[in-house]
A and B are shown apart, each in its own frame.
Chain A
Amino acid sequence: MIELEGLTKRYGAKTAVDHLSFQVRPGVITGFLGPNGAGKSTTMRMMLDLDNPTSGTVRIDGKHYRELQEPLKYIGALLDAKAMNGGRSAYNNLLCLAQSNRIPERRVSEVLDLVGLTPVARKKSKGFSLGMGQRLGIASALLGDPEILMFDEPVNGLDPEGIHWIRNLMKALAAEGRTIFVSSHLMSEMALTADHLIVIGQGKLLADTSMADFIQENSRSYVRLRSPQQERLRDLLHAHGFIAVEAGNGTLEVDGATTEKLGELAAENGLVLHELSSQRASLEEAFMQMTASAVEYHAHGTDVHGGAPAPGPQWGTTSQGA
């Protein structure tokens, strides 16, 4: 459990983080979102006591970071893939960290094995690709087998196999009851990974809700219907006060209804449905909606807030598994 209370960081006149209070709970993956410059990195660094807050506190299991005995056994963090000494081998980089927190040396080989770096364990880490550096950083986070894990942009530089692996690793760690806090710019990735979301913009808390609620609150959701008896279906819906919009391809879209209700209605009236699915916007759309005003660098030339759902397969379009 991580608790932030009134956490604030000012650099001169600029307030990077502004009275941020939230909790990161065990057993779920909490996603940490925000546009560039929103204060995500600063917040994460203050959580690890690397930056000093101007005011406010961070508590890890009720304690200040500096009070932690052997902190790697409480909290492991991947902040920056390059936060290792390139002149040292991967193995030795981890060995220094392990020794400082009295973690047995065999754990070093274990985590290297876990992240798939055993073949290059004795190579100097400066020759590592971004993806390998990332794996080394993940290994260092797992070193103390901590109950709390923080990952800043964990999929950076990983290939699809690596992305798939880290996602499942985080889910498995959360399922074991650990606290997982992960920041990312990749909404589609977050939609697959996180259960809970904390969104900040310009240093302030914008949302602290479950993934499903976040999408629900920040975007349109509707039910899509398809039937061989489309005319009858539409009349029936109108008769019951639902507004059905024709959306091409023989589908109808209905706002403000649940699939349960419409399914019952169709069954009662003996209508055959070939599709009855609830459609929700993607996390990306919901996020864009919410943070539209909190973005620092605006690009020009294209419509950045394209309202229409993007074509192609959509992640998180239904409630499945979320």
Chain B
Amino acid sequence: MIEAVGLTKRYGAKTAVYNLSFQVRPGVVTGFLGPNGSGKSTTMRMILGLDRPSAGHVTIGGHPFRQLPNAPRQVGALLDAKAVHGGRSARSHLLSLAQLAGIPAQRVDEVLGVVGLQDVAKRRSKGFSLGMGQRLGIAAALLGDPQVLLFDEPVNGLDPEGILWVRNLMKKLAAEGRTVFVSSHLMSEMALTADHLIVIGRGQLLADMSVTDFISANSADFARVRTPHTEPGQREKLTAALMEAGGQVMSEPDGALRVTGLPLPRISDLAHDADVRVWELSPHQASLEEAYMRLTQGAVDYRSTDDRLAHLQPPQQPGHPGYGMPPQPVVQDVPQQGWYAPPPPGQNPYAGAPGQQPVPGPYAPPAAQQPAAPQPSDTTKDAR
């Protein structure tokens, strides 16, 4: 269990972390997200006693890191893969760490086996690739068989097999009842790994909730519906019926319909009533990335210019006539670049004014949990 209370760090006039309070619980993988410069690394460093908070405190198992008896056996951390003396072999590097912490030498060979470095254990780590360095760093974190583990960008430099391995390793460690705290920029990876999320922006807490709640709270689910392409009339008939029932319908490039605002059984019934045959009816949840981007909009310090990019965007934008379906001015194409599902109204207090948002309480359930979210009034909103 890691517990931060009112954690604050100032560097001169700049506040890197402000009044951060959260708990990282054992038994689950907790993801730690935030844009560059949001204070993630500073927070990690304060947890590990490397930086001293300007105010507030953070404890591991009830003690500040520096007061932990035999810290290496309770906390393992991977912060920077290159923090290894390159002239030493992997094994002697780990051995020196083990001796410092009074860990038996046989554990060194054990962890080398766990990370798959046993064959290169005697090689000097200078010649290691980023991925091998990363594995060595993970081995060092596991050395003391600690109950609390922190990983900063653990899949950096790993190949697909290594990424899969790290993901499974973290899940296994959590399943053993350990506290696993992972920071990463890779949303798609986080979506597969983490159970719980802590999101910060500009040093302040933006969200502290489960992954599924996070996605539901920050984006809309939708359904994809396809009708027989052999009979274009069916598509129009269904579109009309769906809109009449209060659904929002957009057109996807392959002619399928993207429907928000109606649960799947209702869509099914409407199709049935309209005598429309359905070739596909699939539920879709927005991605973690979309949800994250929506939440952190405006909390990004460091942004690529959009205006310059504009000339690189394909001309296709909402409002242009769609894919061979002239008689339907009402059905808009799904924008292809940077499209996010519009957020349900009232559920996304962040998009407008970041910096002074109300922070949801820990584990606060999202306001509403309908199968499909209620409708925003403005579907033309292009979030890009």
Interface residues of A (CB under 8 A from B): 33-36, 110, 113-116, 118, 129, 131, 135, 155-165, 168-169, 171-173, 175-176, 185-189, 192, 224, 226, 228, 259-260, 263-264, 267, 272-278, 284, 287-288, 291, 295, 297-304, 306, 310-313, 315, 318-321
Contact = CB atoms under 8 A, between A and B. Distances in A.
B124 interface: no
Given A175-B314, A275-B282, A318-B282, A300 B113 contact: yes
29 contacts: A36-B131, A114-B304, A114-B305, A115-B304, A116-B305, A157-B185, A159-B302, A161-B35, A161-B36, A164-B338, A168-B338, A176-B312, A176-B314, A186-B155, A187-B160, A259-B226, A260-B280, A272-B265, A274-B264, A274-B268, A275-B281, A284-B164, A291-B160, A297-B116, A297-B131, A299-B165, A300-B114, A310-B192, A320-B224
Contact of B164 (A159, A169, A306): A306
A176 to B, nearest CB: 7
A287 B243 CA distance: 41
Contact of A304 (B168, B287, B312): B168
A164 B293 contact: yes
B188 A321 contact: no
B78 to A, nearest CB: 15
Contacts of A291: 160-161
B302 to A, nearest CB: 7
B240 interface: no
A278 B189 CA distance: 23
A266 B129 CA distance: 55
B198 interface: no
Nearest to A138: B304
A189 B186 contact: yes
Given A160-B187, A228-B265, A264-B277, A172 B211 contact: no
Given A176-B312, A259-B226, A321-B253, A185 B160 contact: yes
A321 B251 CA distance: 11
B156 interface: yes
A171 B337 contact: yes
Interface string B273-293: 000011111111101110011
